[in-house]
């Protein structure tokens, strides 16, 4: 096998880690240096992922062996096309949210920037590590780094946020413990932790009950981490009570990375024939995804708090990803993975908008958004673009991932899923249009106007540029993802589709 | 049935411990008890994976003698040594568990400072009224 080694993937993970450790010291020396240093680390990480992605596209997957120990003995990093795409996505989102967070954290957490950015960078370390590693136990460690830092970041919101974070700790720990148990079971029969090595040993053991149980624990553990219905109980509280920048970061990345890990385990550590035929886990996941799509959207319609609505909508969107991946054909896989990328951009953008509104006006209620199109025109415009993508209007990215999902459902002859995707889109339309209606249109005849808002006295008060620019970039990104979806699919996703699914 | 339980002593123990932890996490209303349950849950898995390394009649994985004068390692029987890898992995898992407990306790401290209670039902009531 032609092995192509490079140390760049490690730098993507290591640089944020070292910077995170350095920040508390830097703060003692010069507090104003904390934020630029954070930004530099995030920018470096993003730059390195761009270099890595170019390398992967040109020369195929990159391997790196920690300390020169070859797998299966040592820990290895492996960047293939899918992980390169995920690294690009993470680099982009964490950098943009990092820029955005400066003003909002100054306001929500004065004097506490250094600890905040330390934890922020550790979260980036955990997420990029999760995507890069090729070792099952190393993955557990990164999973816990990412989880522990998200607990801490969510609790920074204070008050109810701490209670939500505690709930997340309990459920998240159960998820991680199940994952660990699954790894333990697999290790007990194979004696290996390396993903490629496991993939070559496991096929002979597919009949073994131990492997079955291990696989079940892995899938359940990761489903909790990605908040797949009905294991989503931690998500709405955590997303809606966290500080704005944290909501955007966590909503755009953590559950997506957990979904990515699930794909890794189901299709790359185990062979698709195991996940599809031996136990029909893909079918089961698809149905859970379908239920999540409908119930998540219905719950979102029932919310009056903007961030809470977006959180329930996330539950529904996780359903799309899982539905696509569980459909077990090339189209569905492409749609599901594309939706990971698209959803990170659009949900990141929407949470940034919600944060900007809270930053400027303190309003959380959807009913309070009257005249927002006059007060904050660019923010409102960003919301509309991202909302259109969520509904799935061309040429935004959301349209194409849904198109692939529908094509996949048709190819798999699951007309019920086609119906579910369409119904869920209509429900999505309902709650998104409701918000846009409040933002852009005058109150209807006889409708009560919330106190404190007098038409005519509305002044324009847009958020500062450092907050506005990341939102606009995400909004443009949502459209670009749609226009260039063919490129993404053919360059990154197609080369990685497992053989069994392509047939 | 009894034979099975004795033969799979480690499995039975870990499942029992795990269920005790799970019970504490789901049905206790005191948040500290939930954290205790969470710990029992984690440790049960750690115990189980450590127990996987056990071998009848084997010894600790330290090779006496090592290389001879010509740098040739002695031939080893793997069955005579306990597999050290699960222990090492679980050391890491213990550290992770410690960190999780630390974060959970820190959160409880803040909850107590803000709401003055660690009972879940009282806490929910206070959140409802104070927001």
Asked whether the beta carbons of residue A177 and residue B48 sit closer than 8 angstroms, the reply is no
Q: Which of A155, A166, A173 is closest, CB to CB, to B42? A: A173
Nearest to A63 by CA among A129, A5, A132: A5
A284-298, A353-367, A409-423, B66-80: least confidently modelled range = B66-80
User: What residues make up the domain containing B70?
Assistant: 2-130
The angle formed by the CA atoms of residues A229, A177 and A274, to the nearest 5 degrees, is: 65
* pLDDT reading at A320 higher than 90: yes
CATH number at residue B119: 1.10.287.3510
pLDDT at A503: 57
pLDDT at A412: 85
Mean pLDDT confidence for A392-400:
88
Q: Is B31 in CB contact (< 8 Å) with chain A? A: yes
User: Which DSSP string do the residues of A260-296 spell out, in sequence order?
Assistant: HHHHIIIIIIS-HHIIIIIS-HHHHHHHHHHHHHHHH
Asked whether the beta carbons of residue B114 and residue A166 sit closer than 8 angstroms, the reply is no
Average pLDDT of chain A, as a whole number: 88
Percent of chain B with pLDDT over 70: 95
Q: Assess if residue A407 is contained within a domain.
A: yes
Mean pLDDT confidence for B15-35:
93
pLDDT at A451: 52
pLDDT at A274: 83
* pLDDT reading at A50 higher than 80: yes
Give the confidence band of B3 by pLDDT, cuts at 50, 70, 90.
Answer: confident
pLDDT at B18: 93
Burial class (CB in 10 A: 0-12, 13-18, 19+), A111: exposed
Asked whether the beta carbons of residue B45 and residue A184 sit closer than 8 angstroms, the reply is yes
* Count of structural domains, chain A: 1
Q: Which of B45, B89, B107 is closest, CB to CB, to A155? A: B107
> Do the Cβ atoms of A460 and A330 come closer than 8 Å?
no
Give the confidence band of A453 by pLDDT, cuts at 50, 70, 90.
Answer: low
Between A277 and B105, where is the model more confident? Answer: B105
* Alpha-carbon gap, residue B99 to A36, rounded angstroms: 29
Q: What is the pTM of this model?
A: 0.92
Give the confidence band of A328 by pLDDT, cuts at 50, 70, 90.
Answer: confident
A42-46, A456-460, A470-474: least confidently modelled range = A456-460
pLDDT at A174: 94
Q: Is B38 in CB contact (< 8 Å) with chain A? A: yes
**Separation in Å, CA of B5 to nearest CA in chain A:** 17
| Mutation target among B4, B11, B89 for the A interface, most CBs of A within 10 A | B89
Q: Is B15 in CB contact (< 8 Å) with chain A? A: no
Residue of B nearest to A160 (CA): B127
pLDDT at A276: 81
> Which chain B residues are Cβ-neighbours of A158 within 8 angstroms?
110, 114
* pLDDT reading at A1 higher than 50: no
* pLDDT reading at A450 higher than 70: no
Give me the total of CB pairs closer than 8 Å, taking one residue from chain A and one from chain B: 73
Q: Which of B45, B107, B110 is closest, CB to CB, to A177? A: B45
Neighbours of A456 (CB within 10 A): 5
* pLDDT reading at B64 higher than 80: no
pLDDT at A258: 93
Asked whether the beta carbons of residue A165 and residue B34 sit closer than 8 angstroms, the reply is no
pLDDT at A447: 59
ipTM value for the complex: 0.91
Per-residue pLDDT reduced to its tens digit, A234-247: 898 899 889 889 99
* pLDDT reading at A494 higher than 90: no
Reduced to 3 states (helix: H, G, I; strand: E, B; else coil), residue B119 is strand
* Alpha-carbon gap, residue A390 to A386, rounded angstroms: 6
* Alpha-carbon gap, residue A20 to A129, rounded angstroms: 15
> Which chain A residues are Cβ-neighbours of B54 within 8 angstroms?
none
Mean pLDDT confidence for B115-124:
89
pLDDT at A454: 54
Q: Which of A144, A148, A155 is closest, CB to CB, to B110? A: A155
Residue of B nearest to A191 (CA): B85
* Alpha-carbon gap, residue A503 to A489, rounded angstroms: 17
* Alpha-carbon gap, residue A181 to A176, rounded angstroms: 9
Nearest to A222 by CA among A267, A278, A188: A267
| Mutation target among A180, A225, A233 for the B interface, most CBs of B within 10 A | A180
Mean pLDDT confidence for A395-414:
90
> Which chain B residues are Cβ-neighbours of A157 within 8 angstroms?
none
Mean pLDDT confidence for A357-380:
86
pLDDT at A162: 92
pLDDT at A448: 58
A130-139, A197-206, A448-457, A485-494: least confidently modelled range = A448-457
Asked whether the beta carbons of residue A173 and residue B100 sit closer than 8 angstroms, the reply is yes
Q: Is B21 in CB contact (< 8 Å) with chain A? A: no
* CA A169 to the chain's CA centroid: 18
Q: Is B43 in CB contact (< 8 Å) with chain A? A: no
User: What residues make up the domain containing A341?
Assistant: 280-503
| Mutation target among A170, A192, A218 for the B interface, most CBs of B within 10 A | A170
> Which chain A residues are Cβ-neighbours of B49 within 8 angstroms?
180-181, 184, 187
Per-residue pLDDT reduced to its tens digit, A77-87: 999 999 999 99
* Count of structural domains, chain B: 1
Torsion sign (Cα): A183, A169, A266, A80: negative
A77 beta partners: A64, A133
pLDDT at A224: 93
A445-459, B62-76, B92-106: least confidently modelled range = A445-459
**Separation in Å, CA of A469 to nearest CA in chain B:** 33
Asked whether the beta carbons of residue A170 and residue B34 sit closer than 8 angstroms, the reply is yes
> Which chain A residues are Cβ-neighbours of B96 within 8 angstroms?
140-141, 144, 176
* pLDDT reading at A103 higher than 90: no
Q: Which of B48, B99, B127 is closest, CB to CB, to A160? A: B127
Give the confidence band of A273 by pLDDT, cuts at 50, 70, 90.
Answer: confident
Torsion sign (Cα): A13, A18, A24, A29: negative
* pLDDT reading at A59 higher than 60: yes
């Amino acid at each position: 096998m032609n092995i192509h080694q490079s140390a760049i993937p490690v730098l993507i993970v290591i640089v944020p880690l070292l910077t995170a450790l350095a920040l508390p010291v830097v703060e003692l020396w010069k507090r104003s240096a904390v934020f630029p240093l954070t930004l530099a680390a995030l920018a470096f990480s993003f730059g390195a992922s761009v270099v890595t992605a170019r390398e992967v596209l040109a020369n195929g997957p990159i391997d790196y062996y920690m300390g020169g120990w070859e797998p299966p003995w040592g820990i290895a990093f492996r960047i293939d096309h899918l992980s390169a795409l995920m690294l690009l996505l993470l680099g982009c989102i964490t950098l943009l949210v990092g820029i955005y967070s400066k003003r909002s954290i100054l306001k929500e957490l004065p004097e506490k920037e250094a600890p905040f950015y330390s934890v922020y960078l550790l979260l980036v370390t955990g997420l990029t590590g999760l995507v890069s590693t090729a070792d099952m136990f190393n993955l557990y460690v990164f999973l816990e780094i990412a989880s522990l830092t998200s607990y801490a970041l969510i609790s920074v919101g204070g008050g109810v946020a701490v209670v939500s974070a505690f709930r997340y700790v309990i459920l998240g720990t159960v998820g991680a413990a199940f994952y660990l148990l699954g790894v333990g079971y697999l290790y007990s029969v194979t004696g290996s932790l390396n993903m490629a090595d496991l993939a070559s040993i496991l096929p002979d053991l597919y009949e073994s009950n131990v492997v079955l149980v291990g696989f079940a624990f892995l899938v359940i553990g990761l489903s909790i981490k990605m908040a797949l219905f009905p294991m989503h109980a931690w998500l709405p509280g955590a997303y809606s009570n966290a500080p704005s920048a944290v909501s955007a970061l966590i909503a755009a990345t953590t559950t997506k990375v957990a979904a990515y890990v699930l794909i890794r385990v189901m299709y790359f550590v185990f062979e698709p024939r195991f996940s599809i035929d031996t136990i029909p886990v893909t079918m089961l996941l698809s149905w859970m995804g379908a239920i999540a799509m409908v119930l998540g959207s219905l719950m979102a319609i029932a919310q009056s708090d903007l961030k809470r609505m977006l959180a329930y909508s996330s539950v529904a969107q996780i359903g799309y990803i899982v539905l696509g991946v569980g459909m077990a054909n090339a189209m569905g896989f492409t749609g599901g993975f594309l939706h990971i990328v698209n959803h990170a951009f659009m949900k990141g953008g929407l949470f940034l908008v919600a944060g900007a509104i809270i930053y400027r006006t303190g309003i959380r209620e959807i009913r309070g958004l009257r005249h927002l199109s006059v007060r904050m025109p660019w923010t409102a415009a960003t919301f509309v673009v991202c909302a259109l993508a969520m509904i799935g209007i061309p040429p935004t990215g959301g349209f194409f991932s849904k198109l692939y999902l529908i094509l996949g459902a048709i190819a798999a002859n699951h007309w019920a899923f086609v119906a579910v995707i369409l119904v869920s889109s209509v429900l999505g339309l309902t709650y998104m249009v409701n918000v846009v209606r409040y933002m852009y249109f005058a109150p209807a005849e006889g409708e009560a106007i919330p106190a404190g808002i007098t038409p005519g006295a509305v002044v324009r008060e847009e958020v500062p540029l450092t907050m506005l620019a990341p939102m606009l970039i995400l909004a443009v990104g949502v459209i670009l993802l749609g226009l260039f979806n063919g490129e993404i699919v053919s360059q990154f996703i197609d080369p990685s589709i497992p053989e069994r699914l392509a047939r | 049935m009894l034979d099975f339980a004795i033969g799979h002593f480690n499995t039975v123990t870990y499942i029992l411990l795990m269920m005790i932890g799970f019970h504490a996490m789901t049905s206790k209303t005191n948040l500290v008890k939930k954290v205790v349950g969470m710990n029992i849950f984690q440790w049960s898995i750690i115990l189980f994976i450590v127990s996987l390394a056990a071998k009848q009649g084997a010894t600790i994985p330290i090779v006496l003698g090592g290389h001879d004068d010509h740098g040739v390692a002695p031939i080893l029987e793997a069955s005579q040594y306990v597999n050290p890898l699960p222990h090492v992995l679980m050391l890491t898992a213990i550290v992770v568990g410690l960190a999780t407990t630390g974060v959970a306790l820190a959160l409880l401290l803040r909850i107590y400072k803000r709401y003055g209670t660690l009972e879940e039902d009282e806490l929910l009531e206070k959140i409802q009224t104070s927001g």
